[in-house]
Amino acid sequence: MSHAILVDLTACVGCGACRDACQQIHKFPENEEACLGAKCFTTLKTVENEDVGEVYIRQMCRHCQDPACASVCLVGALEKTKDGAVTWDANKCIGCRYCMLACPFDIPKYEWDSLSPKVRKCTMCYQERHITADMAVDKEGYVVNKRGERVTVDGREITAEERDTIVEMTTNYDDKRASACSVACPAEATIFGDRDELLAEARRRIVDNPDDYVPRVYGQKEVGGTSVFYISGVSFESLGFSTKVGDEALPQKTWNVLEKIPDIVVTAGVALGAVYWITNRRDDVKRYEDEVKKNRSKKSS
């Protein structure tokens, strides 16, 4: 199943519960800034509209169907999953920032204040939604998978207490797993679910209530379609949405150009292959070092 998020701007009351839940589940500090950041994956922007007054707009990753960020990532740190989420791998990201340049919505952000900076963005709680309450815990209190390997979220190992908190925050009222922002929303302005069903729900609301919505589902066609949809009572142009991004997926646009200059494609392919090999080698070394530490720990105990 491919998941998505539907944001109904007519239902949002601007309480900030979505933002606060996002900050909490990622262990980020409280933040009421209107701008996205490396430690702020979703924000609320207030726009004053002359027809309806204040409109609260959630800003977050759109999880494109064919994401430009993943297509330019040199090391495969960003990936469009079958789940619908565009995920980010902390162990692969090298902080090159190509994804920041490629994103048509200006979503990925750089850890400018880190000594080892990487690029961060929303992952639609992908890792969190795959943590279950029955996952085992090792002797040190960390959650492990069926292979006995410690489970990580955003690159950090999680304890049993964190596991329980994550499961609670990503389980909705009908006991299904969902993004923390959607679970926290008291007005059901943010809904998580099957992409096709949410798109149908968005269309249904527009058809059933033509006086309440403009006849457009933002995200249905933009840049080839996204996994975050918006519906609104006023035009998206008046709310500051980027309405000139086009309907074609950006990676396809890039390929349309690159295929006409094969030498560049070949050279780039070799370069990317080299970077990929280096990254995999780094991962192999890390796994070896972890195994050595584990064996030493067993012997000392």
Q: What is the CA radius of gyration of the chain?
A: 21
- pTM of structure: 0.82
For residue 231, the model assigns a pLDDT of: 98
H-helix segments, 11-54: 17-25
For residue 71, the model assigns a pLDDT of: 94
For residue 281, the model assigns a pLDDT of: 47
DSSP letter assigned to residue 75: T
Cβ atoms within 10 Å of 108's Cβ, excluding its own: 26
200 token code pair: 């149908």
Cβ atoms within 10 Å of 196's Cβ, excluding its own: 11
Judge contact between 247 and 62, C-beta under 8 A: no
Phi and psi dihedrals of 59, rounded to 5?
Answer: -110, 130
Residue 20 to residue 151: CA distance in whole angstroms:
24
Crossing angle of the two packed helices 17-25 and 160-169, in degrees rounded to 10: 160
For residue 285, the model assigns a pLDDT of: 46
Residue 32 to residue 60: CA distance in whole angstroms:
14
Residue 253 to residue 245: CA distance in whole angstroms:
12
The one-digit pLDDT tens for each residue of the chain (301 residues) are: 899 999 999 999 999 999 999 999 999 998 877 789 999 999 999 999 988 899 999 999 999 999 999 999 999 999 999 999 999 998 999 999 999 999 999 999 999 989 899 999 999 999 999 999 999 999 999 999 999 999 999 889 999 999 999 999 999 999 999 999 999 999 999 999 999 999 999 999 999 999 999 999 999 999 999 999 999 999 999 999 988 888 888 776 666 655 655 555 555 555 555 455 445 545 554 565 566 566 656 655 5
Residue 300 to residue 119: CA distance in whole angstroms:
38
Cβ atoms within 10 Å of 261's Cβ, excluding its own: 11
By CB atoms closer than 10 A (0-12, 13-18, 19+), residue 113 is exposed
